[in-house]
Structure 1
Amino acid sequence: MTGMAVSPATRQLCDATFSYDEAASALSLLDLYAGPDPERVHQAAVRLSGGRLGRLRKWLDEAKRNPETVLWFGESPSDVSADTHAFGVEFINAFLDKHPDTPAVSGSE
């Protein structure tokens, strides 16, 4: 299943976030997201990835289950302080970094 086309603004964000060699892969991963609010989810996941494809893949996997979680971490929530939010993002990304990527199985979705 293919998601919504990636917006020009999200393409620019990918170009600014990922290396030249990885930007196309990042766009391909984003294109697979078929859930609600695709542009916001795409941009939140790219910001959260910190330019790492493995993190992007994991944030998009979470977005398939619960897009609101990705939006909360990837945007600026009003229900916590900026420091608390930054700590949460760093904590989750450190957790993701400790769990190696598992290869995606094509045709599994």
Structure 2
Amino acid sequence: MTAMAVSPATRQLCDAMFPDDEAASVLALLDLYTGAECERVHQAVIRLSGGRLGRLRIWLDEAKRNPETVLWFGESPSDVSQDTHTFGVEFINGFLDRHLDTPAEPTGE
């Protein structure tokens, strides 16, 4: 499958969140996700990563399994308060940060 270039809006978000020297790595990782709602998922994982490559990898792995979850966390859901949503994102990213040194198992997909 041919990699699809990210949209200009996604590239702009990437440039705002990640240092210039990581741009090529970020774009290569984003190219690995070609599933449903590709542009929305790309932008959601960039936002959720907080500019950290390790988090980006983990959120992309989750997007392959469950894009709806990533979109819920990476966008502004209407079914909870903004404070609750922010707490959830911060909680999960805190958990991920404690486990980033643990290599993820390949999913075989």
| Structure 1 residue 103, shift from structure 2 partner | 7.1
Which consecutive segments of 4 or more residues in structure 1 shift more than 6 A? none
- Structure 1 residues 1-109: aligned runs within 5 Å: 1-101=1-101, 102=103, 109=109
Code of the residue aligned with 2:72 in structure 1: it is W
In structure 2, what is the Cα distance between the partners aligned to 1:29 and 1:61? 10
In structure 1, what is the Cα distance between the partners aligned to 2:85 and 2:3? 28
| Structure 1 residue 4, shift from structure 2 partner | 3.1
Identity of aligned residues (%): 79
Code of the residue aligned with 1:42 in structure 2: it is H
Stretch deviating more after TM superposition (95-104 or 66-75): 95-104
For structure 1, the residue ranges without an aligned partner over 5 or more in a row are: none
| Structure 1 residue 3, shift from structure 2 partner | 4.7
Q: Is the 8 A contact 1:4 1:38 kept in 2?
A: no
Q: Is the 8 A contact 1:10 1:39 kept in 2?
A: yes
Q: Is the 8 A contact 1:29 1:57 kept in 2?
A: yes
TM-score where L is the length of structure 2: 0.90
Note closer, same or farther for the CA distance 1:27–1:49 as it changes in structure 2 (3 Å cut): same
Q: What SS class does the counterpart of residue 51 from structure 2 fall into?
A: coil
| Structure 1 residue 5, shift from structure 2 partner | 2.2
TM-score where L is the length of structure 1: 0.90
In structure 1, what is the Cα distance between the partners aligned to 2:84 and 2:3? 32
In structure 2, what is the Cα distance between the partners aligned to 1:57 and 1:2? 20
| Structure 1 residue 100, shift from structure 2 partner | 2.3
Q: What SS class does the counterpart of residue 24 from structure 2 fall into?
A: helix
| Structure 1 residue 24, shift from structure 2 partner | 1.4
Q: What count of residue pairs does the alignment treat as equivalent?
A: 107
